[in-house]
Structure 1
Amino acid sequence: MPVARRRGRAGWIAGRLLIGVLALATLAATGVGWATYTDVVQGTVTANVLDKDAGGPKPVDGATDILLVGIDSRVDAQGNPLPEELLAKLNAGVAEGEINTDTLILLRVPNDGTKGIGISIPRDSYVDIPGGFGKHKINSAYGRAKRSAMDRLRKEGVTGGAELEVRSNQEGGQTLVRTIQQLTGSTIDHFAQVNLLGFADITEAVGGIEVCLLKPVNDRLSGARFPEGVQMVSGASALAFVRQRHDLPRGDLDRIVRQQVFLKGMAAKALSAGMLTDQSKLDPLLASLKKSIVLDQGWNLVDFARQAQGLAAGVEFQTIPTGSPALRTPSDGLAVEVTPSAVQKFVKALLNPGETPTSPAPVDNSAITVDVRNANGTAGVAGRVATTLTDKGFTVGQTTSVAARATSVARYPEGEKENAEKVVAALGVSVTLEQDTNMKSGRVAVLLGKDFKEEEEQEAPDRLLASPLPRQQPTSPNGTPCVN
């Protein structure tokens, strides 16, 4: 059965996933829960997805880096289709024929019992996907590798739906891990993946989560309908709260803030409310986890339980630095611009004790001279583009109008393709890059064809995706951060 995608992304999944892993770890560390722990672990799907030789060096303090992955999937961990009544209960929406990893959080669990650090990676980050897949949105890495594996496995004679799902999912996970390690420079120690199943049961088991909204919302796509102020959400309403993306001031970044606040609240309440030691509450949770969670092979949850005690105190969240939120791509529509070197610098500073994470310093573009030629047919386009480039530090050379042409192109001298890439990234467009041996070093010529659309013309519902996250958030009387 094809794995599908619903409207609104699975931002809520990481919270349930973290609680599930901690629940298993807590059981593993207690003699009372050992029999239950053994039963659940034996029934949990594991996957060989890690390549620990890739990525960066191991933390010197023995910390553990976990990739939390939320899959918008219509099958359980064993590859069996989810019941329609469950999908209806979750308000999962219409299947669209694709599988995406719509929640990606790199979680650092320290070895000294202090707070964890979670790093969110926007789903539309435009990155290179290892394995010959090229540059695409990061949330498609899993699905592209999965589809490729399914095609190969079918040719090898694997026809069983459940077996095909499990084996192809493993290859999807392997490619995703390599993609994240390549982007962040970190070595992933453990992998935890979860699908749609069981979210409502968990939020209801902990008695709901307190949230605080700065203003009322009424979003038809996600089903989010909430008044302003402090309120408790659970079940379907909790799902709607963390799914909403449209009608938020900063699009997906505001949804990431909701995910982060909700995750902190859910983990804190679950770990402080005695849920993990109340068998009547724990049994339904663990039964759901066996159907919905996938862990990497060889994860020693007893050791992890000792290390993860500090997570009860909370998790500090950050989001990787991003550039243009409306980067035009050849085949993926609008994406979020990311620079791997800037991401790696940010992640390294954030995860290393004693270093303060800072946004990357602005790149000096003044050595690149850009000639802008209007082949678009609309008066004034070249001048406005020249102003944009000047604002972003480039030196603007000639600004002229030339004969109209259908497609846009950026030309560069031999050996200086990177300069042309910087220019088109700064403009938030995707155009053909051509080497021109007649051009002088240090110059880029941009021809704006009829296909060129200025930023205000582009359909970019997430165009504020990469705006800075708020430094401070208003809080409710109980200390719950108030969000959009």
Structure 2
Amino acid sequence: MAVTSVAVLLGTGYAYANFQALIDNISTTDVIGLEGGGEKPADGSVDILMVGMDSRTDAKGNPLPREILDELQAGDETAGGLNTDTLILMHVPNDGGKAVAVSFPRDSYVKIAGGYGRHKINSAYGYGKESAIERLKREGESDPAQLDVKSRKDGAKNLIATIQDLTGVTVDHYAEINLVGFYEITKAVGGVDVCLNQATQDEFSGADFAAGPQKIQGREALAFVRQRYGLLRGDLDRIVRQQVFMAGLAKQVLSAGTLSDPGKLNDLIDALSKSIVLDEGWDVLRFATQMKDLTGGNLKFETIPTGDPELQTPEDGLAVEVNERDVKKFFKNLGSDPTAVGSSTAPTVDPGTVTVEVRNASGIGGLAGRVLRSLVAEGYVGGGSGNATEEVLSSVVRHGTGGEAGAAAVADFLGGIDVEEDPEVPAGQALVLLGDDYDGPGVQGLTGGPLVGLDGARRQPPDTTTPEQPITADGVRCVN
């Protein structure tokens, strides 16, 4: 949002000087590998991971003053600091099409990169950061500010790896903002217009809002985007709050009253330089000029597909259920034309040349046989069915050397599940392993209700309610 808005004024020397001052003073970190960071990535889009950090330190690793913590109602210096309260993947097509900002609920229950198992996604940064602190201490680092700054690099890398594993998307750039930065940015622009469907109060976040349209900034703005208790859908409603607020913030910054006011522009740049961390080597000036048309209806907000919002987990309490296969499919189709004919990417394969074996790890009795019968009816050769002898976290089709095309065709027929190579699978065969995330052919009518996984969690039926009004940066939408 910041680089886009400043790009509007790049034609003036004053704006350019201010923009360069921001770039010179902003903190950077080397967290993007060789695959990311390209000007026009080969996968067709620039994907930027934007992180809102619940941190009690600034971008330089210094603790926030007590008076600021009190104003933010953010607890003491030892609270928080390791969790990512806001996660958004900004998807910007190379061809200049509409950009999409995709939110991840902070309590999404996913596989954390680095071998930490399954936990809430907002802990991925913390796991990487804590491991780095232990390593740095062993290496002799003792300065608290240096420990904080250096360990953040590992935290960000672990978060990026988790997002990439979940989505199948290569993260090209990284941007991080802390609590105090968000607070000061909203004050610098003179507040943001929002609208609430009903009045609400929450002692944890400090929220105390009337119903209807209103302009908020500073402490009120932070409470608006942090509140989740007392909201109808908890964390999911908080995501909607964050999306409409960012849309309003973009609109406010792009207004002439902000960008043409030297005082406001200086305050905005000062706030950004103290609170933003970007990936090292990102040519933000070039990116800003490319993004100058990304305003209003050219930017929309989405949220990853989710299941049960009150999933009981072994270690993390209640979490938001996430089906990794659904998330990968969501990002694969992001920006594509759903009405296009022949959009399937599966290669053309004669089903009669592929023998399929199906193994069941879903906990749903009889599912493997039902799925195999569906495949045989499609023309594939039946290779037997039964229960799996290994734990399966998500459904997958495995193939041997040279069997990619056949496995891809089987996976496409089964709803687009993952495909992976396994040298133990004979040539000309495909092995289907059904996890508790499977909802393709063969499931319909089998259980008569929500699916039950191996962990006892009940998967919710698809939401068939009327879609909500889309969130864009060209208007103010009332929300819970």
**Which position in structure 1 is the counterpart of 2:447?**
none
- Would the aligned equivalents of 2:72 and 2:219 in 1 still touch at CA under 8 Å? yes
Match of 2:151 in 1: 168
1:184-207: CA deviations, max 9, x gaps?
111111100011123333223333
188 and 30 in structure 1: CA distance in 2 versus 1, 3 angstrom threshold: farther
CA distance in 1, matches of 2:201, 2:127: 34
Structure 2 letter corresponding to 1:39: A
Residue in structure 2 matched with residue 418 of structure 1 by the alignment: 392
TM-score, structure 2 normalization: 0.72
Gaps of 5+ in 1: 1-17, 358-365, 372-388, 397-411, 427-445, 456-462
Q: Distance in 1 between matches of 2:393 and 2:218?
A: 50
* 2:359–2:387 Cα contact (<8 Å) kept: no
**Deviation per CA, 1:373-421, whole angstroms, max 9, x where unpaired?**
xxxxxxxxxxxxxxxx79x98999xxxxxxxxxxxxxxx9553533899
Change (3 A) 1:312 1:369: closer
- 1:230 aligns to 2:226 (yes or no): no
What is the CA–CA distance in structure 2 between the aligned matches of 1:369 and 1:135, rounded to whole Å? 18
Matches within 5 A, 1:271-286: 271-286=254-269
Distance 1:339 1:415 in 2: 22
Q: Does 1:257 align with 2:240?
A: yes
3-state DSSP class of the match of 2:149?
helix
Structure 1 residue identity aligned to 2:202: D
Of 12, 24, 28, which aligns to 1:42?
Answer: 24
1:361-440 aligned within 5 A: 413-418=387-392
1:90 maps to 72
CA contact (8 A) 1:45 1:77 kept: yes
After superposing the two structures, state which structure 1 stretch, 200-209 or 84-93, moved more: 200-209
Residue 330 of structure 2 is matched in structure 1 by 346
Match of 2:318 in 1: 334
- Is the counterpart of residue 325 in structure 1 residue 309 in structure 2? yes
Residue 482 of structure 1 corresponds to which residue in structure 2?
478
C-alpha distance in structure 2 between counterparts of 1:143 and 1:108, whole Å: 25
Structure 2 residue 161 is the aligned partner of structure 1 residue 146: no
Q: Is the 8 A contact 2:83 2:123 kept in 1?
A: yes
**Contact map agreement 1:55 1:186 (CA 8 A) in 2:** no
Closer, same or farther: CA 282–370 of 1 in aligned 2, 3 Å: closer
Q: Are the aligned partners of 2:191 and 2:215 in contact in 1 as well (CA < 8 Å)? A: yes
For the 8 Å contact 1:109–1:311, the answer to whether it is kept is no
Secondary structure of 1:310's match? coil
1:30 CA displacement: 4.7
> 1:140 Cα deviation (Å)?
0.6
Moved more, 77-86 or 113-122: 113-122
Question: How far apart in 2 are the matches of 1:325 and 1:292?
Answer: 32
Counterparts of 1:127-146 in structure 2 under 5 Å? Answer: 127-146=110-129
How high is the TM-score relative to the length of structure 1? 0.71
Q: How many residues align?
A: 392
Q: Distance in 1 between matches of 2:249 and 2:94?
A: 22
The one-letter code of the counterpart of 2:148 is: E
Amino acid at match of 2:259: L
Instruction: Give 1:460-471 correspondences, 5 Å limit.
Output: 471=467
CA distance in 1, matches of 2:470, 2:230: 20
Cα distance in 2, alignment partners of residues 419 and 163 from structure 1: 38
**Fraction of identical pairs, as percent:** 49
Indicate conservation of the 8 Å contact 2:195/2:478, yes or no.
Answer: yes
1:253 partner letter: L
Which residue, 151, 175, 193 being the options, matches 1:192?
175
How well do the aligned residues superpose, as a CA RMSD in angstroms? 3.7
State the distance in 2 between where 1:229 and 1:267 align: 20
Q: In structure 2, how many angstroms separate the alpha carbons of the residues matched to 1:91 and 1:188?
A: 33
**Preserved CA contact (<8 Å) 2:50 2:176:** yes
CA contact (8 A) 1:324 1:425 kept: no
Partner of 1:68: 50
Q: 2: CA distance between counterparts of 1:205 and 1:467?
A: 40
SS of residue in 2 equivalent to 1:96: coil
Quick one: distance in 1 between partners of 2:36 and 2:172?
11
Aligned twin of 2:284? 301
| Partner secondary structure for residue 231 of structure 1 | strand
Residues 119/447 of structure 1: CA separation in 2 closer, same or farther (3 Å cut): closer
2:185 to 202, 205, 209: 202
User: Which residue pairs with 1:15 in the alignment?
Assistant: none
Q: Please tell me whether the aligned partners of residues 189 and 253 of structure 2 are also in contact (alpha carbons under 8 angstroms).
A: yes
CA distance in 2: counterparts of 1:447 and 1:80, whole angstroms: 45
Give the secondary-structure state (helix, strand or coil) at the position aligned to 1:193. strand
Of 468, 472, 475, which aligns to 1:472? 468
Give distance in 2, aligned partners of 1:73 and 1:197: 9
Tell me what 2:399 maps to: none
**Which amino acid is the alignment partner of residue 48 of structure 1?**
D
Instruction: Give the match's secondary structure for 1:483.
Output: coil
Residues 142-189 of structure 1: CA deviation (Å, up to 9, x unaligned): 110000001101111111222211110011111111111111111111
Q: Give the AA of the match of 1:172.
A: G
Whether the aligned pair in 2 keeps the contact of 1:25 and 1:304 (CA below 8 Å) is: no
Question: SS of the counterpart of 2:294?
Answer: helix
